[in-house]
């Protein structure tokens, strides 16, 4: 999508501090980190949010959750102590960038409930 900032980051048009990339996904450091490790995992294909997911996205979802995230957690050395995944969705969910992204937060103790 031409006016989507995360499309531009995902396809390399805008530089980011990338920690992982493959054919379908890019993971990069959040501009405004909320934890010592704060990574955004973004599909290269424009999908607005998780409410737009359908059965055709099953392979992508499985790739993100069973391969990319566990690898990032190991590489960032937070797999053992733990981390938090957040997917803000839509207005009430606090989503500010309308391109699906998973927040991976770690390196500190998280609190609950979130704000």
Q: Nearest approach, Cβ of 26 to ligand DGP (angstroms)? A: 10
Residue 34 or 77: the one with the smaller Cβ distance to ligand DGP is 34
Check if the beta carbon of residue 11 is closer than 8 Å to that of residue 29.
no
The number of residues in the chain equals: 115
Active site annotation includes 101: yes
Token digits for 26?
A: 């890019």
Token digits for 66?
A: 């069973």
Site for ligand DGP contains 95 (CB under 6 A): yes
Binding residue for ligand DGP, selected from 16, 72, 73, 102, defined by CB under 6 A: 16
Tell me the catalytic residues: 101
């Amino acid at each position: 999508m031409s006016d989507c900032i995360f499309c531009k980051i995902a396809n390399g048009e805008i530089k980011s501090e990338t920690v992982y990339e493959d054919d379908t996904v890019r993971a990069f450091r959040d501009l405004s980190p909320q934890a010592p490790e704060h990574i955004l995992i973004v599909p290269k294909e424009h999908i607005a949010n998780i409410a737009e997911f359908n059965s055709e996205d099953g392979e992508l979802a499985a790739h993100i959750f069973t391969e990319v995230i566990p690898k990032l957690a190991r590489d960032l050395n937070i797999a053992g102590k733990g981390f938090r995944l957040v997917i803000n969705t839509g207005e009430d969910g606090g989503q500010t960038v309308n391109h699906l992204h998973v927040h991976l937060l770690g390196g500190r103790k998280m609190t609950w409930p979130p704000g």
